[in-house]
Amino acid sequence: MWLVYKKELLEILRDKKTLIFSILLPTIIFPVLFFGVGKFTQSKTQEAEIKELKIAFVNGNTFEGLPDLFTAEKHFKKVELESSDYKAEILNDKVDFIIEVPEDSAMPSQSRKQELINLYYKGASKLDNISNKRVKDIIEAYNNTERLALGERFNLTTDNVKAFNKPIAVENKNFASERERIGEFAGPLIAYILIALAVSGAMYPALELGVGEKERGTLETLLLTPMTKGKIVLAKFGVIFTASFFTVIVTLLSYFVWTWIFTMGGKMSGLDFLSNISGLDLLLVAVLLVPLTSIFASIMLSASIYAKNMKEAQAYMSPIFMLGFMPVIVAFVPGMELNVKTAMIPITNVALAMKDLVKGTVDYSMIMVLLASTVVIAGALLYFTTQFFKKEKVLFRS
């Protein structure tokens, strides 16, 4: 047994492609990926920690000193509300937080009951949580001051005061919808699954129609027919695209059927938000997958045609998978948003847009930008594949 083990291992170690694609590449890609993602997350977190937050008070002076605590902080800016429609003020980015002290409130240190603050904001992401924490930290600081003042009033020691409940309770009024909040976590997951399905759906037919035909000896006979190489490769691309797209569409459809079943049954109310995704958003998810699956179909077909045999082709598929998923993972780093810049990054842009579509926060103009950029890339790759397929060196590589 040992002899066979040693011989097999020796053969694998002498296979440079296996070494490069199965061992060397992952050992480079993953640390780079994790380091990059870590660094980016750190910088975004730091950015969120010092981001200027616009805060407005309603009856703020009832709690004497509370507004001053905020204005004393470096990165808070006190603003006045333009209307009493808190939701519109927040959703239109005129203000980030509104602290409302109810009209019948008293100064906590003078009160005999727990006072209340209504905190209005919109928060769904991790970065929103950071901003939220910053506001609550200040309220907590004010709570401490008031707690100590209350203790003094009742001749209590600091230890006694610690035993007190919070003089002020905070009632969170989050304007982010349930779909947005759940979509923040579910969106990336759904995008990841759909992209994974698109990639895996393209892989098998790509192997079959490229290197598979080479190995079976049918490719050469096909090339000798009067049909042009360009038409042959386009037909092959079409099949890979269809298989990949079909896999994703069937999955999407089954997801809706199951969502409908679950939500109708009321057994999994957590999935309710999924039924809020509009037909247009769903259609856009499918549309986004068109150039995306084209990109993977072209890359995989090229690799498959180039490979001498199935083993070599499979060795190429692993890095394609990894390189395909790197931009997807990047899209889920907190703070990554769909904007003009990110709309130009292939794959990442689709993942970001899918996340926003699931959340219901997508900027439709950005979808057009990303579609334009992705279609250009998909077209260029398809052109490359057709040219690649015409090369004798590729077709008869030995």
Question: Which residues would be at the binding site for another protein (CB under 8 A)?
Answer: 216-218, 220-227, 392-393, 395-396
Query: What minimum distance in Å lies between the beta carbon of 358 and another protein?
Result: 38
Nearest residue to 291 via CA among 338, 353, 341? 353
Pick the closer one to another protein by CB: 146 or 312: 312
The DSSP secondary structure of 83-119, one letter per residue, reads SS-HHHHHHTTS-SEEEE--TT---GGG-SS-EEEEE
Pick the closer one to another protein by CB: 104 or 392: 392
Query: What minimum distance in Å lies between the beta carbon of 240 and another protein?
Result: 17
Pick the closer one to another protein by CB: 3 or 224: 224
Query: What minimum distance in Å lies between the beta carbon of 217 and another protein?
Result: 4
H-type alpha helices, the chain: 2-14, 16-18, 25-50, 66-72, 86-91, 126-153, 158-162, 178-209, 211-216, 218-223, 229-265, 279-306, 310-331, 348-359, 364-389, 392-395
CA gap 271, 156 in Å, rounded: 50
Query: What minimum distance in Å lies between the beta carbon of 13 and another protein?
Result: 19
Pick the closer one to another protein by CB: 205 or 334: 205
- Looking at the DSSP bridge assignments, the partners of residue 174 are 121
Pick the closer one to another protein by CB: 181 or 214: 214
Query: What minimum distance in Å lies between the beta carbon of 18 and another protein?
Result: 18
Pick the closer one to another protein by CB: 294 or 304: 304
Q: At what angle do helices 364-389 and 279-306 cross, to 10 degrees?
A: 20
Nearest residue to 219 via CA among 32, 31, 394, 2? 394
Query: What minimum distance in Å lies between the beta carbon of 226 and another protein?
Result: 5
